[in-house]
Amino acid sequence: MALRVSGDAHEARERLEIELLLEAIQRAYGYDFRGYAVASLRRRLWHRVYGEGLETISGLQERILHEPACMDRLLRDLSINVTEMFRDPSFHRALRAHVFPLLRTYPFIRVWNAGCSTGEEIYSVAIALHEEGLLERTRIYATDIDEAALERARSGAFPLERMQFYTENYQRAGGKESFSRYYSTDGNVARFDPALAAGTVFAQHNLVTDGSFNEFQLIVCRNVLIYFGAELQEKVLGLFGASMTRLGVLALGRKESLRHSRHADEYEPIVEAEKIFRRRA
């Protein structure tokens, strides 16, 4: 007679499989996803299980350990690549109105776009800096865990069909020019002026395992922390603090907060509704 597995036993076994898989990934490839929010992580793992034509997370672990290409596919699943140009226009208006005047006081500006994904946010910030006369003395560091996403960001090429929507975002974000002046068309692709990214350094960086590499006046990391568990969020916020100049600015996503963090007292709000904070002196 076949044994029936209870729901609790099934969930416990699944948790064990996930723990073993994440441990295997960390030891074999150096990527540490053990602190990620469980619900989101579970969905993405099962997406890759089915994508590989497998039936179990244990089966995915075996394939990943023996086929690095499978690990590349899983990495793309686990990376957060949902983005758009001038996403949340009111945030970008707040950058222009409240943050750029602070940046203007520095002779040279360093900006870190952590979790830059495929680059839409980089070009959004670069265009705004250009229009405010700050881009020429700004170095943007654009980092992500996903090398494939970084390659797309480096290219500065985005679907032409998205340009009408991005133009609307740009206008609502306080854009001062005709948005079309920043890109040329190539078939179904919009290629942005390479001069916008001439001062940008693109580099692979893992917020979970890699350390600080410079001091920044502005760190933009939007809609990344929501995918991390509480302890991992604290670790990353500590990394940002170690990477920021005195009175530096931290910009998070709308669903992210410092309110319950042990780092909360290190910052004061500049525009709290847009989750823009300034580090205290």
Whole-prediction pTM value?
Answer: 0.84
Mind listing the pLDDT tens digit of every residue in the chain (281 residues)? Answer: 455 556 788 889 999 999 999 999 989 988 888 888 888 889 999 999 999 999 999 999 999 999 999 998 998 888 766 689 999 999 999 999 999 999 999 999 999 999 999 999 999 999 999 999 999 999 999 999 988 899 999 999 999 999 999 999 999 999 999 999 999 999 999 999 999 999 999 999 999 889 999 999 999 999 999 888 889 999 999 999 999 999 999 999 999 999 889 999 999 999 999 999 999 98
pLDDT at residue 128 in the model: 98
Closest CA to 78 of 46, 108, 122: 46
Separation of alpha carbons 134 and 132, rounded Å: 6
d(CA 18, CA 12): 10
Sheet holding 200-204, edge to edge: 200-204, 138-144, 109-114, 216-221, 244-252, 276-279, 267-271
Give domain limits for the chain. 7-78, 89-279
CATH number of 89-279: 3.40.50.150
Question: What integer pLDDT is reported at residue 76 of this predicted model?
Answer: 82
Q: Which pLDDT does position 1 carry in this prediction? A: 45
pLDDT given for residue 104 in this prediction: 97
**Phi, psi dihedrals of residue 239, rounded to the nearest 5°:** -60, -45
